[in-house]
Chain A
Amino acid sequence: GQNIDQPTEMTATEGAIVQINCTYQTSGFNGLFWYQQHAGEAPTFLSYNVLDGLEEKGRFSSFLSRSKGYSYLLLKELQMKDSASYLCAVRPNTNAGKSTFGDGTTLTVKP
C-alpha cells in the first residue's frame, strides 16, 4: 500500500522562504512529483525527483531522500501568488505506473 503524509496547512510571509515536507511509505518507489493547485483550479506540475538530492528550478527546489522516504519542496522569495495547495505524489516501481497523491499542504502567503 501507499501512505503519504504532508502538513495540512502552512503560513509564511511574502519574501520569505518556506519548506513543505512530504514523507511516504510505499510498497515500491520510482519517483516523486510535486504539483501546485490554486483553489478551484487544476493541479499543475512543479517538479519530479527520482534520484536523491536537490533539483532546482527558479524559485522552487525539490529534495529527495529515498532511504528516509522523505522529500521537501522549497519556495524562495515568496509571492502572494504562491498561495495554493502543494500536492506530493509518489510513483511506484510496479508496472501499474499510476501515482498516489498526498492530501496536499495549503500554503497561505501573507503581506
Chain B
Amino acid sequence: EVQLVESGGGLVQPGGSLRLSCAASGFTFSPYWMHWVRQAPGKGLVWVSRINSDGSSTSYADSVKGRFTISRDNARNTLYLQMNSLRTEDTAVYYCARVIEAADYWGQGTLVTVSS
C-alpha cells in the first residue's frame, strides 16, 4: 500500500524555521517526482514546490522562492521541505504528493502555524 506520511509541523514564530519531512513507503520512491502543496485554513490548494527524481531540478512558487528549499533522500525514501523566514501567511496544512502526470497519492498533511 502506497503511504506518504508528513511530519515536522508545529507552532513557530514569524521569522523562524521548520523542516517538514514526508516518509514514503509501499512503492519505489526514487523514480517519482514529488511535490509540496499547502492549504491555509478555510482556503484553497496552493502548489508550493516540486523536485525531480534525483533531486537535480527543483521549482518553487513565487511566494516561497528564496525562503523554502525542497530536497529528497532516496536512500531513506524521504522528501523534505526546509522553511526559513516564516511569515504568518505561511500558516497552512502542508501536503506532500507523488506525481506522475498528476498527484496520484497524497499524505494526510501536517499543520504549520506561524504566530507570535
Q: Do A and B come from one complex?
A: no
